[in-house]
Structure 1
Amino acid sequence: MLSLFGLIKPKRDYQIAKDQHRFLFLVPAHNEEDVIGPTIESLINQNYDPALFDIVIIADNCTDHTVEVIEKYKRAEAFVNTSKPDEPRGKPHAIARFIETGRWKVYDYIAFIDADNIVDKDYLMEMNSQLIAKPELTVVQGYLGVKNVATSMTASGYAAVYFITNRAVQYANYRLGWNAAIGGTGFVLQTMYLEKNGWNPRSYTEDFELQVELSLQSKKSGWNHFAVVYDEKPNSVIASHNQRTRWAQGHWFVAFTTTWKQMKSIFHAKSIIEGLSKCETLFYSYSMVRPIAFLIIISLAILDKRLLIYLPDLFSVLLFWLVIEFLNLVIIPTVYFLQEAGTYFDEREKFIDKVILYFRLIVGFVWNSITYMAAQIVGFFTWFKPQNNWKKTVHSATFDRNQ
């Protein structure tokens, strides 16, 4: 139902304003010599007053030439972080090391960017304009695009999900006045909030932790459909599984450790919209429960085959589910693919290539949903383990819409 509210094509609800806010681009990087150069160049080339933004790359325990690449750019600064063998490692902890310096306090907002991202030249201009018009926003999540839409079926699956989610969840939430989800990259955070609350990651998913924290404190996170960041997605099933298992472990950890707080917070909402936003965040906390439910049902059926005699009763709602799944797997994706992936379709001259891309996205969407279930199940049973053993996703893609 939420996805229906995103069907209206996005329009700015703010006017483009004069450059005003001071931003710090903060980019965690671990052995990213192959991609960090283009990322820095995209940050340098912002259509924004250079005096109002700086770039810091966190070279986190790098053993390659990442630092040397960073040093080639005068506008970028390398913050070299080294950890002892017994210290926690990974993106959230690397960011924490920089936050401890307090150097970010002279800025109005920190823009968190991943080392493999290509940031649109108007990113800061759009963020600045929205934040001037809507100063109540503590966080604004930017649009998450994909660099490698067609390099593999796995990457196409990611692209399909993001084309849909950017509209069906993020923009829909924003239209309803609900909090947007924090996507791990491409978002800006108000430094006043950070100064008051600190940076205290407990899981692999520091972005989801922040999302829940904002909800608990009745703070607002917004969505900017025009501040675009292009992200590289894994091409192999194994790399994808490792990445999504990490996400699932962090997600379940945050869900289980904050559920009671979230439930109590709903009753302290100051308005219906705020209360519904808190409910949506709680609902999102358990968005990975479906494969767990399937697993329980299958396990019970194996233990007691008499449960299978109820299987024919499921067909009493077959028509209902066919309508829902047709909406979910055909109508909604088609609308969002044709609009959100419009540029990718336009750059394919032959009609047959456009058709192939469409079906590739449809198949990729289903493939992504099925393969993600395995990671969600693994994450469910391992969420309690220490979340400080970060498995790096190797990046190498250049930005080409035909890939």
Structure 2
Amino acid sequence: MSDPTRAALDALNGTDVRLRHVCKARDATDQVGPRRFLHAGPPIELADIPGPMRGAIIAGLLLERQAGSAAEAEAIIDCGEVSISPCHDANAVGAMAGIITPNTPVVVAEATGGIRTFSPLNEGVGGAMRYGSYDEVTLARLRWLGDVLAPALDAALRRSDPLDLLALVAEGLRRGDDCHNRLVATSAALLVTLTPGLLHAPFGREDIAKVVSFIAGNGHFALPFAISAAKAVTLAAGGIPGSPIVTAMASNGREFGIRVSGLGDRWFTVPAPIGDPVLLEGATLDDVTPTMGDSMISETAGFGAFAMTAAPAIMSFVGGDTARAQEITRSMREVCAGTSGRFLIPAEDFRGTPLGIDVHRVRATGIEPVINNGLAHREPGRGRVGAGITPVPVEPFAAASRALEETAPERVGAADEPGRHA
């Protein structure tokens, strides 16, 4: 194994990440403003955004009180008066549409070396801003999350021991989660960890009861804690000259893109896929927005679909059976350069998950990396329509592999072996 590959794997395996704050995004970054928002996926022009992202921007403008109605918000968008940029450029990750505004409540993580990352608090699986909803129920929940739940959690953190986010993910895998689309056990463990601090936080009894009830009723609550940690370790693995290890996978609903350690912030993209979805009753494929979101940073960091043998119950949510889960995890080992030393799968005798997607291996084998993901309706305001397992086309990985060879022509990778496909 080359030194650049090993260096990236060591960072993925060895970087520690702690929960630092829960606050509003304006207190975590200077890259948001009243009409300056972050979004999921590679860069996209405002005129090209898909329906759910448009709906989320409408919600953002209403949340920031830049518009008094959905119609007014749409007019602001149509006049090009909103600036958007990728979450990844701000060391952030956003599920689904990934729209982050100044008043969006976020989880802030801090890794070895002072790397800070953040991700919006999870609103639940019903109508939600990340799925493009912007009704009054969604907005009222967002305001409560920012004004009550976020400061209550932050106060609890100050009264608790530092929370190791990667240990939280590792324990979730041991308890039957994949920590991307199944986080039932992880969310419960997070609630247990934070409750003592919540009970001593300077908030009224009714507020704390509502906070505890909300977390207990949201099986995806731990997602931003997991993916902000994943973003931190992949940042630590980035910027290593010659390294073929993938450091980001993300989609804006139009294009799916990857970044690679040895190629910095450059995106390699392909049209966003849809995969093999499990749709809600009444929904059809024509209703589905192609893959969207930053939460596949989970797979990039070694969990999610790469750990599906740890979470057999997830198959009823994303489709398939335990045999398919086993096949996915097995095939992901073929395209990864290493094995996790901390994400262990009980059903595989505590073998580590596949870790470190290697673009040369993807190009050489032709095996498509796999993610599991939620799916939103194509039209703004219509919300979630399902979830699924999505193989990612080989093309961006192959393009990155060739780009690495161009930066180091003396290097001969696996992609050049006779009989392999490029």
> Do both proteins adopt the same fold according to a TM-score greater than 0.5, normalized to the shorter chain?
no
- Which category describes the TM-score, using the shorter chain as reference length? 0.3 to 0.5
Structure with the largest fraction of helix: 1
TM-score (norm 1): 0.32
RCO comparison, higher one (Cα < 8 Å, 6+): 1
Structure with the largest fraction of strand: 2
TM-score (norm 2): 0.31
